[in-house]
Amino acid sequence: MSLSYDLIEPDMPGLGLIVLRVDETIEDEFRRHFSPDQVRLHISRVQSGDDLTPETITQMGPRLQDAAALLPRAAQFDVVGYACTSATASLGADYVAQAVRGGVPCKEVTDPLSSALAYAKAHDLKRMAIVSPYEPHVAAPLLSAFERGGVEVVDSLSFGEKSEACVARIASTSIADAARHLVSRCHTDGLFLSCTNLKTFSLRPSLEQELGVPVLSSNHALAWHMAQLAGL
């Protein structure tokens, strides 16, 4: 005997997130940012190297479509976000969007770089200082991408790290010290803490108040932009 049943359609915006295999941070920060009563959040992982280098970024590109395809196609996604700032800067936001759309139907696609630029435009931030955890040759494409996006990079600092496991464990005190040092030596409209694996969720509001300039992080910017695109 087969029982009858009713079907219900989703009544909350659907968000998809493609996270690097080695990322230990953004999933927790997104689930703290978005209430389950507010959105439907589904997460996939993309194969990535233990170190973030130009070579591992290049290898990640062709895997994006398959990672997007692991998201449930029936979920009716309003927005899918690719959670890697440096890889987007190297691969290009258009490449990322095309790969994601090739894997899963969605209304909008974004990434931390596009999100940070959208945030800067919405808040009239024309000059930005940037803290990056990675080696300078990995961070360089990000700085160039900001400039192409119409935001002047007035100064930057890097921790010179390439191991993702270490990036996820950089202490908030170290991040705050780098931010203070950077802002003290330049005139900037805002500060960007780059990398989705960098723990900034609890640090950002107090640092913003202390420094007196807007402070955005990869995860904060991506969450903000995805919420905007989903109409939240």
Q: Strand 77-83's sheet: what is its strand order?
A: 40-46, 14-20, 77-83, 106-110
- The residue type of 231 is G
Same structural domain, 56 and 130 = no
Contact present, 48 and 19 (Cβ < 8 Å): no
Contact present, 96 and 34 (Cβ < 8 Å): no
Contact present, 113 and 145 (Cβ < 8 Å): yes
Question: Residues of the chain with pLDDT > 70: what percent?
Answer: 100
How confident is the model at residue 132, as a pLDDT?
93
Same structural domain, 69 and 153 = no
Same structural domain, 128 and 173 = yes
> Band of the pLDDT at 182, cuts 50, 70, 90?
very high
Same structural domain, 158 and 91 = no
The set of residues, in sequence order, having a beta carbon less than 8 Å from that of 136 and lying 6+ positions away, is: 158, 160
Residue tagged 């690719």 (tokens)? 82
Same structural domain, 151 and 83 = no
Residue range of the domain that includes 37:
14-113+221-229
Domain count along the chain? 2
Residue 108 lies in a domain: yes
CA 178, distance to chain mean position in Å, is 20
Same structural domain, 131 and 192 = yes
Same structural domain, 173 and 106 = no
Question: Residues of the chain with pLDDT > 90: what percent?
Answer: 83
Same structural domain, 109 and 146 = no
Same structural domain, 118 and 208 = yes
Same structural domain, 103 and 155 = no
Mean pLDDT computed over 36-44: 94
Residues 45-61: tens digit of each pLDDT: 999 989 888 888 889 99
How confident is the model at residue 5, as a pLDDT?
86
Residues 10-22: tens digit of each pLDDT: 889 999 999 999 9
Residues 82-126: tens digit of each pLDDT: 999 999 999 999 999 999 999 999 999 999 999 999 999 999 999
Residue 32 lies in a domain: yes
Residue 6 lies in a domain: no
Residues 165-181: tens digit of each pLDDT: 999 999 999 999 999 99
0.85 surpassed by pTM: yes
3-state secondary structure of 213: coil
Same structural domain, 126 and 48 = no
